Amino acid sequence: MKRNYPLIAAALMLVVAIVSCGNKRQQAGAAEEVTAAGQPSVEVPVFHADSAYRYVKEQVDFGPRVPNTAAHRACGDYLIAKLKQFGAKVYVQETDLVAYDNTMLKARNIIGAFNPDSRRRVLLCAHWDSRPYADSERSRKKQKEPILGANDGASGVGVLLEIARQMQQQAPAIGVDIVFFDAEDYGIPSFHRGEYKPDTWCLGSQYWARVPHVQGYNARFGILLDMVGGRGATFYREQFSQRTASAQVKKIWDAAHRLGFSSFFPKEDGTEVTDDHVYVYSLARIPCVDIINYDPQSDTGFGDFWHTHDDNMDIIDPATLNAVGRTVMEVVYNEK
């Protein structure tokens, strides 16, 4: 049989052309691939849990960050310096807030704006103060002492500081505001025998939601991190978030599952929690999702360490910080 060499050569060239063309398309699409599950994904910088862990420890090393104390002031200064170091435009809201017992709290909400000129924005927040009481302790005397709040306070801030560091290295497509709320945890203690007063928790976020750091502030949505560092933590879908920000809840839990963190983020309903996100939504009208540890086995629902002296560095696990940090970054970097 006589072979048609020109035809074979032409066919080979065509094959080469198709293959190289396909390669080019793959290169061009490197920043926006399609995962096996079919969801679009962008290149997300790698969250370093060991770095987040260090930021948690550095806060705890100041001691309890209770408003009107030297440790609180020093830690606030540290947070401002860190956000500046990571290239944010920093705003500090200083105000006096009235506590449940009429104590005047010298409070500071600390805000770091990334890509401040973009109109497409996402809010990431956590409270940075720690509780003046250990009112979940059995002993009356211990109840009156302030807690270290490694998980309840420092963990969410530590995760957000690491996200800030990553955003300086590789910016997401949208603008991001990191807000550290003050005076979240000065709420009415269980041993209080005086008159009941509503809305004694989340004083810093109530103030910010009424008087945002820039006039007419808006964001597509917010994510609140609260108790996101505990060993073996589970983040059930918090029910206020589910009612007021259901699309964002789905987006976050889907992202967590895509990354392999389904054991940390069960797609099951938790309880409803009064936390900063409630005021962000009801006063500033920004849907906000609370990622908060829910432990169905514990009496309080928040874990046995909650508002006790066990809330120290011993219960902090980098694996939990990692699951939360990666999930939040996956969501933020996929916003267009």
Q: Determine the Cα–Cα distance for residues 266 and 256; give it in Å rounded to an integer.
A: 9
233 binds, among ligand AHN, Zn ion, none (CB under 5 to 8 A by kind): none
Three-class secondary structure of residue 179 per DSSP: strand
Residues 6+ apart with CB under 8 A from 209: 279, 280, 282, 283, 284
Q: Determine the Cα–Cα distance for residues 146 and 66; give it in Å rounded to an integer.
A: 7
56 binds, among ligand AHN, Zn ion, none (CB under 5 to 8 A by kind): none
238 binds, among ligand AHN, Zn ion, none (CB under 5 to 8 A by kind): none
Q: Which is nearer to Zn ion, 219 or 315 (CB)?
A: 315
Whose tokens are 């983020």? That residue is: 265
Q: Which is nearer to Zn ion, 33 or 314 (CB)?
A: 314
Shortest gap between Cβ of 299 and ligand AHN (angstroms)? Answer: 13
Q: Which is nearer to Zn ion, 129 or 330 (CB)?
A: 129
Q: Determine the Cα–Cα distance for residues 196 and 152; give it in Å rounded to an integer.
A: 24
Q: Which is nearer to ligand AHN, 276 or 317 (CB)?
A: 276
Q: Which is nearer to ligand AHN, 205 or 327 (CB)?
A: 205
Distances (CA, A) of 147 to 37, 41, 56, 117, 156: 44, 40, 14, 39, 16
Three-class secondary structure of residue 108 per DSSP: strand
Report H helices in the chain. 5-28, 49-60, 70-85, 140-143, 156-169, 203-210, 239-244, 246-258, 276-284, 318-333
Q: Which is nearer to ligand AHN, 244 or 334 (CB)?
A: 244
Q: Which is nearer to Zn ion, 162 or 185 (CB)?
A: 185
Would you call 152 exposed, middle or buried from its count of C-beta atoms within 10 A (0-12, 13-18, 19+)? buried
Residues that bind Zn ion (CB under 5 A): 131, 152, 185
Shortest gap between Cβ of 172 and ligand AHN (angstroms)? Answer: 27
208: left (phi over 0), alpha (psi -120 to 50) or beta: alpha
Shortest gap between Cβ of 202 and ligand AHN (angstroms)? Answer: 7
Residues that bind ligand AHN (CB under 6 A): 152, 185, 187, 201, 226, 273-275
Shortest gap between Cβ of 290 and ligand AHN (angstroms)? Answer: 9
Q: Which is nearer to Zn ion, 131 or 326 (CB)?
A: 131
Shortest gap between Cβ of 184 and ligand AHN (angstroms)? Answer: 6
Shortest gap between Cβ of 174 and ligand AHN (angstroms)? Answer: 27
Shortest gap between Cβ of 171 and ligand AHN (angstroms)? Answer: 31
226 binds, among Zn ion, ligand AHN, none (CB under 5 to 8 A by kind): ligand AHN
Tokens of 83: 């956000």
Identify the CA nearest to 223 among candidates 331, 128, 135.
331
Shortest gap between Cβ of 107 and Zn ion (angstroms)? Answer: 16
201 binds, among Zn ion, ligand AHN, none (CB under 5 to 8 A by kind): ligand AHN
274 binds, among Zn ion, ligand AHN, none (CB under 5 to 8 A by kind): ligand AHN
b (16+ CB within 10 A) / e for 200-220: bbbbbbbbbbeebbeeebebe
177 binds, among Zn ion, ligand AHN, none (CB under 5 to 8 A by kind): none
Identify the CA nearest to 41 among candidates 258, 241, 219, 186.
258
Say how many residues make up the chain.
Answer: 336
